[in-house]
Structure 1
Amino acid sequence: MSSLFNIAAMSFQADRRTFYCSIHTLNKMAAGTAVKSDNFTKQGEQEAARCDTRAQLIERGCKLDEIISPDNRVIADKKDPLSDSFSQQEPVQLSPQKISLNLRPGLPSKFSVSFKRAEGYPVDLYYLMDLSYSMKDDLENVKGLGQALFTALNNITKGNAQIGFGAFVDKTVLPYTNTNKKKLQNPCDVDEEQCQAAFGYRHVLGLTPNANEFTNKVKDQFISGNLDSPEGSLDAMMQAAVCGDKIGWRNSSTRLIVLTTDAGFHMAGDGKLAGILEPNDERCHIGGNLYVKSNEMDYPSVGQLAAQLEKNNIQPIFAVTENVRTVFQQLSKMIPKSEVGVLSANSDNVVGLINTAYNKLSSKVTLTHDNLPDNVRVVYTPKCGDGGGEQSSAGESQGVCDNVKPGKEIHFEVTVTADTCMKDQSFIIRPLGIKDTLTVTLNTECECECQRSSGSSSHPHCNAKGKVTCGICSCNSGFVGQFCECSIGNKDERSLRASCQKDNGTECEGRGDCVCGRCQCHNSESGKSYHGDFCECDDDHCEKFQNKLCGGNGKCNCGKCNCNPGYEGSACQCKVSKESCRTLNNTECFGRGKCKCNRCECNEGYQRPRCQTCLGCADPCQTKLTCIECLGFDSGPFKKNCSVACSLSIYHEMVDQFTISGKSCRVKDTESCWIEFKLDQLVGEDNYKAEILKQRDCPEPPSVTAIIGGSIASVALIGILVLMLVKLLLYMKDLKEFKKFENEKKKCRWADADNPLFKNATTTVANPTFTGE
C-alpha cells in the first residue's frame, strides 16, 4: 500500500491534485466472525484508482472513515519572541528560528515568518579608502571626519558603534605600478611630496569605539600612487570580508564597508596582464597588516565578492565620485544589499552620504534562502503593512519590504512545495545583511499509514487464496492476480508476465494489468479504454487538425484516423475532391500519381502540381530509340519481337513532316542512320505517341572500283617507296665505306724497291722508220 500511494501521487502530480487512499471496511457479522470486503476496484482495474480526490472517492461509495488523508504538518521547533531593543544578550529579530515540515508531494504548505529590527542594534563600519594620488584632497578631509562619523552612527545605534580603517591602491607590479625601485618607494610625481610606498591593501585600524584612535590613525596616513586608472578595490573588499578576526567584526551587529574611490576597479582576469594566473581563493592573507598575496593571486570576480559579502552579512556602501557613479551602480545590482552615493569633489559630504545609505539599507528587508534541495520550491509573499511591500525583480525567490520603520514588525508568508519524496532535507531562510536565520527541515509523507490485515489467508475477496491487507490481496504461493484468480501451476509468474510484454517491452505497455498472462487494459485519460493484445492502442493520440482530434471529421482508432464519408487525409482535414488534380484531357494527375486532399501526390521524379514533367528521369529520345527503330524501319535489336516489346508503350505513325508539339529527337540508330522523330507523353508513366519521319539520313555506300583501284595504287606506291628507301640505305652504306677507304689510303707510306719478279725484255725490235727525232 505504501508504494501504491507513492505511485498514484506521482501520476497526478502534474495538476497538483489532492490524493486520498481508500481502504476497505472490515465488518464483523453478528453470527461468528466473518469479514465483508467492499469491492472498490473492479476486475482488471488498476489499484491506483484507490487514490483520488475526496469528492471522487465519496461519489464511488467510500465513507469518510474509510479514507486515509495525510495532511501537511508544520511544527515550530524553536520560536523565541522578537526583541524590542538591543541588550547585552543577543537580540531576536527573526521568528521562528527552526521549523519542521512534513509535506505531501505536490501539496504546498504555508507558514508565517516575522521580522522586527531591534532598536539600537550595533553598527560596525569599516572605512576602506582609495589612497591613489588623485584622492589627495579627499584624504585630508577624512582626517578630520572621525568625530562626525561617530556622532552620526551613535545617533542611530544609541552609542553602540565601531569604526575601522583600511586603505588600498593596486598590485605593485607592471602594468599597474611603476616597479622602478625608487618609484616603488615614492610613487608620487612631485619629489617634495610626502608619499608612502606603493601597496595593494593595508589594514590600518581594527574596529574600535574610540573616535580619537580612529582620528589619530587616519592622520598618520599619506597618499600613494600607481600607473593605471582602475584600482584594486575588489582585492581590498574581499580581504576585509573574509578576515573577520583581523577586522574585528562583532557577531551581533550591522556590518558596513564604506568604499571611497574616484576610479573603477580591476576584476578577475585582469591579473593576466601582469602574468598573475592563480585564481583568487577567497581566503584571508593578511600578514603584518598587508595583503601578502596581492602580487601572486588574481583579483576576485564580482560573483566571488558578492558571495562572501552575503555569507558574512556585510553590506557595502560605495561612496564614489560622479565620473564612476554608473560603473558602481551596475556593480551594486550584482551585490545584494548595497547602496551607491556620489561624493563631492573633496569628500566633505561623506558623513551625510553614509547616513542616507544606511537608512536605505536598514529600511529595506529582503527575505531569501540559500541553496534549496532538489525538487523544492519556495515562494515569498510580503505582508508589510504600513511599510509597503513589493515583489523582488528576481521573481518569487525573494520577499521584499521597503520603507520599514525601526521597531516595526513585518511578516512574510512562505510557501514551500516538495515535488518528490525526500527525508531529512533542510535549507536556511535569512534576511539579507542580518545574522538571524530560520532553519527549515523537510520530510515528506509518501506512504499510507495502513497496516490493517484480514489475518486469514483464505479471504473470500481473494477467492480464498490469499489475505486482504488495506483492501489489496496478498496471494498465497502459487497464485497471482488482482484477486488471486490465476493459478500459475508449473509456470512461474515471470513467464506469465512475459506473455503480456510486446517485444520484451513494458508489461501491457504500462496501460493495463497482466491477469493470468493476458492484458486487462485500463481507461485512458479521456475515460475511454485502451485496447489491443498489449493495450498498445488508444483513441486519444491521433493527429490533430485545427486543434481537433482527426479534425473533428473522423474517429481515432489505435493512433490512426478513420475519416467520416466525404473526408480524407491523415487528420481527416480534407474534403474529398479531385478538382485540382484534373488535367485538360480529363485525367487525374496524368496517371503519374494519386490525388489526395485535392492535391496530386506524384510518383518519384514527377513534379507538382499535376505530375506533368519529370526531373531526373532518363531521356526518352534514348530510351525509346530501339522501339522507334523497329516500329518505323523494321531494324534494330527489337526487330524480331517489336510488337511485343514496343506496341503497348508507343503509338506511332510515319509522317513526311511533324504535326504534334512533343519532344524533338534526332539520334543515330544501330545502322548509323540519323532518325528524326517527336514524342508526346500520354497519360501514364510509359505511354507515348510518336511521329517518325519516313526518311532516314544514312551515309552513301562505298565504291568498289574506287576501293580496288585505290588499293592497288596504294600497294604499288608503297612498294616503290620501299624500294627507294632500300636503295637509299645501300647508297648511304657504300658511300660510308668509300670514305673510310679514302681515309685509310691517305695514311699509307709506300717503299721504293724493285720488284724481284720483274725482268727486262730480251728481244729488241727497232722501228726502221723511226728517225730518232
Structure 2
Amino acid sequence: MHPLIRKVHFHFPSFPYKKKGGKGKRTNFGLRDAHSSDETRNCFHFTPVFCVVVESHTGPRCKSKDLAEATWCSENITEAILSHTILRNDELNSGENGVKVQFSPQSMTIKVRPGLPVDFNMAYRPAKDYPLDVYYVMDYSFTMRAYQNLLQEQGLEIYKELTLLTNNVRLGIGSFVDKPAYPFKSSDNEAYSFKNHLSLTQNMTEFQNVLKDNLFGSNNDDPEGGFDALMQVMLCQDEIGWRENARRIIILSTDNTYHSAGDGKFVGAVKPNDMKCHLEDNNYNMGLDLDYPSVSQINKIATEHNFKIIFAAISSVKDHYEGLVKKIRGAKYVELSKGSNLVTMVKEEYLKLIRSMEINADLPPHIELALSPDCRKEGICIIKHNESITINAKLTVKECPSSDEASEVLVGPVALNEKLKIIVTSDCVCDCERKNTNTNSSKCSGNGKYQCGICTCNENTYGEDCGCTGMTSVDLDKCKLTLTATDYCSGRGTCSCGKCIHCKQGFSGDFCQYDDTACPSPGGKLCAGRGVCRYGKCACAPDITGPGCDCPLTIDTCYAPHSKEMCSGTGNCICGECQCLPMKTSNRTCSGRFCDNCDEFAEKRCLELENYAECNYLYNKTYCDQLHNQTSLTEVKIVDKLDNTLSDQGMAKWCKKELWNGTLIFKYLYPITSPNTLHVIIAKELEQPPEVNLLIAVGVPFGILVLIGLLTIIIWKILVDRLDAREYKNFAEKAAAAGFTVTGIVNPVYRPPATNITNPMFDANL
C-alpha cells in the first residue's frame, strides 16, 4: 500500500450516483476539500468512477485501471466491474434444415458500471426464399371496367416474376367502391367500402379465378373510397392473412382520386376513423359510421406495420398520387397503363427489402447504443447475395437507473420478430460498500466506521483515523506551508490535529495555499465553464484539455454536416477547430470552418448533401434529421425559386440531383453570422428538361438553308451584272477611240429573231 493513500472520493460532476442505503435517493457527490495532499490533483477526473485521494491509510478502493496513475497505488486499485455473457447464439441458418435463424446472437447479459462501454458484435443474413405477401386492392367502380383486362394481366405477371425470386410468395385480392350512401351512391348503384375477396394464399388457381371476376360496383362522384379499404387491409392481420415475418406489399389500383378525412360527413359518418379492424364476413361494416382515414393515419399504420404501398393510377390523376406518396413513408406511384412498369416496381421493392436491413433498438432512457455501420439509418446496411453483414455495437449505461432492477434492451431488424434480448445490470455500488463494515473500528481509533479504505467518524470526532476531538492544535508547525511562514494554514484555514481544515471558500490544498479563483478564464468563465479550478489548476471534463479547459479533445466538431471526412480531408483538427492545409493536388489552401470553401470541393459536398436535400424536398426536416442522424447544425429552407439573395451572407455553392420526374436544384452555404451552421436552400419546383418542338427543330435549319441559297443567287446576280457593265464600258471606250459611234450601232452580225415574208399571190381586194 502506498504510504500516502488516505481517502476515496466520489466525483460525478454530471453523473447521478446512488448512495448505498439511500433508498433510491440520488445525489451528485462533490470532492471533499479537506485534508488532501498535493498529489491528489492527479485524481480529479470527470468520469463516473471512484477517485482515489492520496494519503496514508489502508483498504480497498474502486477505480478503472486506465485512469490509475502509474506512479502510485497502481497495485492496490481494483478493476471496475465489466462483463457480458452470451446466453444464446444460434448460428445463422437459411432454414433449409430447420428453423430460420437470420439474426444472432439471441440473448445475452451485461453487467457494467455507468460510463464504461461494452463492445459486442451482431450478425444478419437473410434467409433463402424469404416470405413475401402481396395484396391487390382494386377499384371496382364502373369506370374501371376499361382496365379490367390490364389488371388481370398485371396481376398474373407479378405472380410469375415474384415466383422467380422466391418460392414463398402469397397473393390476395380485395376491392372497394365508396361509402354506400347518397350522395356517393344513388339507389340504383351498388357501392361498398371494402370487400376481401381472397385472403393471402399460395393457391394461384383461386387467385386467377378471383382476378378474372367481372367488376360490378358503381358510384356517383369522382373520388373513390380507397382509404377505407387501405386501412382495413393493413389492420385486419388475421382476416387478410398477413404473416408476421413476411415482407408486405399493397398495390392499390384506381382511375380516380380519393376521399380523405372529413368527406365522410356528407353521408353521416362523423366519427373519426378509429384505426381498428371492422371486417365481418369479409365486408367492412363501419363504412357509414366512421369517417375516411386521414393521410397521417394511413402513414402511421403503414410505418408501424412495415407496409410498402404502391399506388397504380392513371395519368390524369398522377399529380394527386405523387403528392400523396410524399406524405406516406415508403409509398410509390406508378402509372396504370399498358406500358407501365408496375411489375418491375414490385420486383424492385421486394429486392430492396431483402437486400437492405434496418435495425430497431428499444432502449431505456439511461442506456445508449452505438452501431457501426449504423443500420438504424435507412439504406445504410446493404446485404450482398448469399452474404451476411456484421454490425459492431457499443452499449453504454449513461447513468444509474431509478431502480436496482435490471433493464431490458431489444435490438433487431425491422419487420422481423428475431431480436437480441440484452439484460443490463448497472453496477452503481462499490464492492467494498456491499461488504459488512466494522463499526467503531480500531483503524478509526474506535470512533468511526471503516469502509472502502476510509474512516467515517462518529459525531464530535474527525481526522484520518478519527483520533481528533475538540479544536486543540496538536502541532501548529505542521500547519505551516514553509518553516519560515508566519501564518498557519496560509491564514485561510483552521489548524487542528496538525491538519488544516475549513479552508476559506475559494481556497484549497493541505495548507489552504491554492487560490481556486485564479485559474485561467477563457471567454470570461473560470476554466471556460468546462472544468473545476482545484489546487490552482483546472481539472477538465474528459473531452477537454488545456490550461484553461478551452481545447476540446473530440474531433466531432471538425466534421462538416453530412461529411465523413475530418476537415474535408484537407486539414488537421486542433482544439476542436480545423487548421487547413494545402491540398495535395495543388498548392491552394481551402478556407472555411471545415476547409471546404473552395471550388474543388463543391461537387464533392453536393454529392454528400444530395440525399439529405432530396429527403427534405419529399418529407420534412425532423424526419430527415433522424434518418440522416443530423442535429440543429443544419438549417433547411425551401423557396419557390433560387436566387442570389443569400449570397451576401456567405459563399453559396449550387448543386443538382437528377430525380425520376425532374432535376432537384439546391445550394448550400455557411453564413458569415453563423459559420458552424450549414444552410441548405432547396428550390420548390423541379427543373424540367426542355421540350423539343419538332417543327422548330426541322424548320429552322431548312429555313436557314433556303435563305443561304437565296442570298447566294442574289449575290451572284449582282456580281454578274457588275461584270457585264464593266465589259460594256470598256468596249464602248475602245469603239469611240477607233471612230465608231457606239450609241445606236447595230451589230452587223445580229439577225432579228423574226422575219416578215410577203406572199406575191396575195390580193387584198379579194
Q: Please, what TM-score do these two structures have when normalized by structure 2?
A: 0.53
- Higher mean alpha-carbon deviation, 408-417 vs 480-489, is at 480-489
Aligned to 2:717: none
Aligned to 1:246: 239
CA gap of 1:239–1:454, structure 2 versus 1, over 3 A, is closer
Paired residues of 1:144 and 1:215 also in contact (CA < 8 A)? no
Answering whether residue 117 of structure 2 is matched by residue 78 of structure 1, we say no
Q: 1:93 Cα shift?
A: 1.3
CA gap of 1:341–1:454, structure 2 versus 1, over 3 A, is closer
2:372 to 367, 378, 381: 381
Aligned to 1:204: 197
Q: 1:4 Cα shift?
A: 4.5
Q: SS of 1:67's equivalent?
A: coil
1:101 to 83, 88, 110: 110
1:119 to 128, 146, 150: 128
Answering whether residue 290 of structure 2 is matched by residue 308 of structure 1, we say no
Mapped partners of 2:202, 2:67: distance in 1: 69
Mapped partners of 2:110, 2:504: distance in 1: 36
Mapped partners of 2:29, 2:228: distance in 1: 52
Aligned to 2:385: 406
Aligned to 1:162: 170
1:19 to 49, 61, 65: 49
Aligned to 1:362: 354
CA gap of 1:541–1:432, structure 2 versus 1, over 3 A, is same
Corresponding pairs, count:
472
CA gap of 1:268–1:368, structure 2 versus 1, over 3 A, is farther
Q: SS of 1:319's equivalent?
A: strand
2:442 to 455, 459, 467: 459
Please list, as runs of the form range in 1=range in 2, the aligned pairs for 1:212-227 lying within 5 A after superposition. 212-227=205-220
Q: 1:409 Cα shift?
A: 0.7
Aligned to 2:80: 69
CA gap of 1:530–1:257, structure 2 versus 1, over 3 A, is farther
Deviation per CA, 1:324-353, whole angstroms, max 9, x where unpaired?
Answer: 5565556556555x3525234257653333
1:131 to 140, 145, 150: 140
Q: Which residue identity does 1:66 align to in structure 2?
A: I
Q: 1:419 Cα shift?
A: 1.7
Aligned to 1:180: 186
Aligned to 1:152: 161
Mapped partners of 1:522, 1:98: distance in 2: 55
Mapped partners of 1:57, 1:297: distance in 2: 67
Mapped partners of 1:304, 1:488: distance in 2: 74
Q: Which residue identity does 1:117 align to in structure 2?
A: P
CA gap of 1:287–1:21, structure 2 versus 1, over 3 A, is same
CA gap of 1:334–1:366, structure 2 versus 1, over 3 A, is farther
Aligned to 1:601: none
CA gap of 1:209–1:77, structure 2 versus 1, over 3 A, is same
Q: 1:305 Cα shift?
A: 3.5
Q: SS of 1:281's equivalent?
A: coil
Mapped partners of 2:9, 2:141: distance in 1: 69
Answering whether residue 452 of structure 2 is matched by residue 474 of structure 1, we say no
CA gap of 1:38–1:282, structure 2 versus 1, over 3 A, is same
Q: 1:165 Cα shift?
A: 0.3
Aligned to 2:618: none
Q: 1:442 Cα shift?
A: 2.7
Q: Which residue identity does 2:91 align to in structure 1?
A: P
Q: What's the C-alpha RMSD, in Å, of the aligned pairs?
A: 4.7
Query: What is the identity percentage for the equivalent residue pairs of Structure 1 and Structure 2?
Result: 28
Paired residues of 1:2 and 1:448 also in contact (CA < 8 A)? no
Aligned to 2:761: none
Q: SS of 1:121's equivalent?
A: coil
CA gap of 1:154–1:104, structure 2 versus 1, over 3 A, is same
Answering whether residue 272 of structure 2 is matched by residue 279 of structure 1, we say yes
Q: 1:436 Cα shift?
A: 2.5
CA gap of 1:7–1:549, structure 2 versus 1, over 3 A, is closer
Deviation per CA, 1:44-92, whole angstroms, max 9, x where unpaired?
Answer: xxxxxx7766465425722234334122x333232211113556x4411
Aligned to 1:233: 226
Q: 1:203 Cα shift?
A: 0.9
Q: SS of 1:138's equivalent?
A: helix
1:520 to 496, 502, 506: 502
Q: 1:290 Cα shift?
A: 1.4
Aligned to 1:728: none
Deviation per CA, 1:422-457, whole angstroms, max 9, x where unpaired?
Answer: 233224323233333233333212111225677473
Mapped partners of 1:288, 1:538: distance in 2: 80
Paired residues of 2:227 and 2:258 also in contact (CA < 8 A)? yes
Q: Which residue identity does 1:142 align to in structure 2?
A: L
Q: Please, what TM-score do these two structures have when normalized by structure 1?
A: 0.52
2:430 to 439, 443, 448: 448
Mapped partners of 1:331, 1:205: distance in 2: 27
Mapped partners of 2:148, 2:351: distance in 1: 25
Answering whether residue 345 of structure 2 is matched by residue 353 of structure 1, we say yes
Answering whether residue 57 of structure 2 is matched by residue 37 of structure 1, we say yes
Q: 1:213 Cα shift?
A: 1.0
Aligned to 2:406: 424
Q: 1:109 Cα shift?
A: 2.9
Please list, as runs of the form range in 1=range in 2, the aligned pairs for 1:576-725 lying within 5 A after superposition. none
Q: SS of 1:143's equivalent?
A: helix
- Higher mean alpha-carbon deviation, 398-407 vs 358-367, is at 398-407
CA gap of 1:214–1:366, structure 2 versus 1, over 3 A, is same
Paired residues of 1:105 and 1:418 also in contact (CA < 8 A)? yes
Q: 1:170 Cα shift?
A: 3.1
Mapped partners of 1:110, 1:523: distance in 2: 43
Deviation per CA, 1:385-407, whole angstroms, max 9, x where unpaired?
Answer: xxxxxx67xxxx43644553332
Mapped partners of 1:266, 1:521: distance in 2: 77
CA gap of 1:322–1:3, structure 2 versus 1, over 3 A, is farther
Deviation per CA, 1:577-605, whole angstroms, max 9, x where unpaired?
Answer: xxxxxxxxxxxxxxxxxxxxxxxxxxxxx
Deviation per CA, 1:715-757, whole angstroms, max 9, x where unpaired?
Answer: xxxxxxxxxxxxxxxxxxxxxxxxxxxxxxxxxxxxxxxxxxx
Residue segments in structure 2 that go unaligned for 5+ positions in a row? 1-6, 17-27, 31-43, 472-492, 530-535, 537-766
Q: 1:309 Cα shift?
A: 3.6
Answering whether residue 417 of structure 2 is matched by residue 435 of structure 1, we say yes
Mapped partners of 1:549, 1:238: distance in 2: 56
Q: SS of 2:431's equivalent?
A: coil
